Amino acid sequence: MKKFVFVFSLVLMLVLTSVTAFADEIIIRVDSVEVEFNDDLGFPFIDENNRTQVPFRATLEKYGAKVDWNEENKTAIASKDDITVEVPIGENYIVKDGEKIAVDTAARIVNGRTYLPIRAVIEAFGSEVQWDAALNTVVITREPVDAKAIYLEAAEKSTSWKNYDVKALLNMSMEAPDDEGRLQSMKMNMDMDMTVFMDPFKAKIIVDIPVTVMDTEFMEMMMEMYMVVDEEGYTTYTGTKDYTGEFTWFKQTMKDEVFTDLLKYSKNTTLPNNELTQKYTKDVKYFGNYTDETGRTLLRLEYTMSGDIYKELFEGYEEAMPEPTNEQEKMTYEAIKVLINADLGDITFIVYIDEETGEMVKMEMDLASMVKSIVSQMSLIMGGMPQEVMDILNNLKAEMVAEYLNINEAADFEIPEAALNAPDVTEMLENLEQYEELPTEEDIQDEVR
């Protein structure tokens, strides 16, 4: 179990250093303006073919088309920009300027209202249609947006940040068995504040994790961490708060020039990273714009990249790893090796970009599938995973929201003296191992006999 806790913590850190809302109704937005529906007009729904059907007149008029109805042929007609699209009721095709186009579901009349498959009709006019599953929203954009270009430009800008703050919320829930084998609901809502300086690299992380079991707060974990990087490796300082409010600190230094190079703030690292981002970007979708509480207009994008990016990012790292000097370093290196060679599949998340500045300001991500994939691969280094652990992971839910704040204006910080003077975790583990190896009284008596 000690190994599992360590590896799971490592996975969480790896994931955090690379929100989902659900609505009951289906929302239709045209150029980021929501279409209003009511009982008279009807409401959108998902049909038996898993396609979105929308009220014909309300949607197409909002889109800017002129609408008509041919009672004799039972056909809805929409015209815009010299294009005419006819949608016959009950047929698996539409007609664009006299040419039939096959579709996989048919328009219909429900409760006296005409409904049509929105994607097929809007795309026939040359506009773009996306499905924002997290917000249950059909996104219609009259003039297609180059979402990939917007994202890549923002990603490139982020590599030139000299410092920034991150405020992250990670909501996790799972069912874990108690001592009698009964499943108990467990929730962890992690609140993390992080400050990062890039040249030279240093980071400060404050984490507050209240743990709730069966809707009752079971415990609250407080942790403060610092990380600094030099030419030869990196040092982490970790403090945990006890019930008296005092922090207990320990530190760990790892000599690792290869990993250090990845964190360096220079053209030698940022340029290759930008090239990797472009290479492994698989898809970027534009989900419209939204206004946040400060009045900023934010572009909402869905970004998908190949998990193979990590294999190339750490290419050569496996061979260049220094020889581990203790058990914890060995576990860390083995975990990184698994990550390098793991098949993570595609990784998808939501990103918000400030329309005015072009900067990335917020990210939303469903971490559950990613954590399951990584832990499944990492189970190899532990000779398998207990079934009860796999059961917990299979019902794991984990959603993260991270906001990027104070870009290039973050407040500087100093590492506390108590952390700088903390004992080294390597020495602590070595002393613990020596203690565990001391002969017991029973061993001594056996020796005497």
Q: Does residue 204 lie within any of the structural domains? A: yes
Kindly give, in sequence order, each residue whose CB lies less than 8 Å from that of residue 108, ignoring residues fewer than 6 positions away: 47, 53, 89, 90, 114, 115
Q: Report, as an integer, the average pLDDT of 316-334.
A: 66
- How much of the chain exceeds pLDDT 70, in percent? 70
Lowest mean pLDDT among 54-63, 75-84, 309-318: 309-318
77 bridge partner residues: 68, 86
Are 94 and 154 in the same domain? Answer: no
| Domain termination site, one of 98, 127, 156 | 127
Q: Does residue 446 lie within any of the structural domains? A: no
Number of H helices, E strands in the chain: 14, 24
| pLDDT tens-digit map of 247-257 | 889 898 877 66
Are 240 and 123 in the same domain? Answer: no
| pLDDT tens-digit map of 222-264 | 889 999 988 777 889 999 887 777 888 989 887 766 666 666 6
DSSP state of 99: E
Are 119 and 197 in the same domain? Answer: no
Q: Does residue 101 lie within any of the structural domains? A: yes
Q: What's the confidence (pLDDT) of residue 262?
A: 61
Highest averaged pLDDT of the listed ranges 19-23, 51-55, 211-215: 51-55
| Domain termination site, one of 70, 97, 127 | 127
Detail the DSSP E strand segments found in 178-296. 183-198, 201-213, 216-229, 233-241, 247-255, 281-291
| pLDDT tens-digit map of 345-404 | 788 999 999 999 999 999 998 877 767 666 666 665 555 666 666 666 677 788 899 999
| pLDDT tens-digit map of 411-444 | 999 999 999 999 887 665 555 454 444 454 455 4
Q: Does residue 1 lie within any of the structural domains? A: no
- What domain range includes position 44? 33-127
Q: Does residue 143 lie within any of the structural domains? A: no
Q: What's the confidence (pLDDT) of residue 1?
A: 36
pLDDT band at 275 (very low <50, low <70, confident <90, very high): confident
pTM: 0.79
Are 105 and 250 in the same domain? Answer: no
The tally of domains found in the chain comes to 2
Q: Does residue 135 lie within any of the structural domains? A: no
Are 221 and 357 in the same domain? Answer: yes
Q: What's the confidence (pLDDT) of residue 234?
A: 84
Are 315 and 353 in the same domain? Answer: yes
Distance CA 152, CA 284 (A): 10
Are 179 and 324 in the same domain? Answer: yes
Q: What's the confidence (pLDDT) of residue 21?
A: 31
Are 179 and 117 in the same domain? Answer: no
Q: Does residue 385 lie within any of the structural domains? A: yes
Q: What's the confidence (pLDDT) of residue 20?
A: 27
Q: Does residue 39 lie within any of the structural domains? A: yes
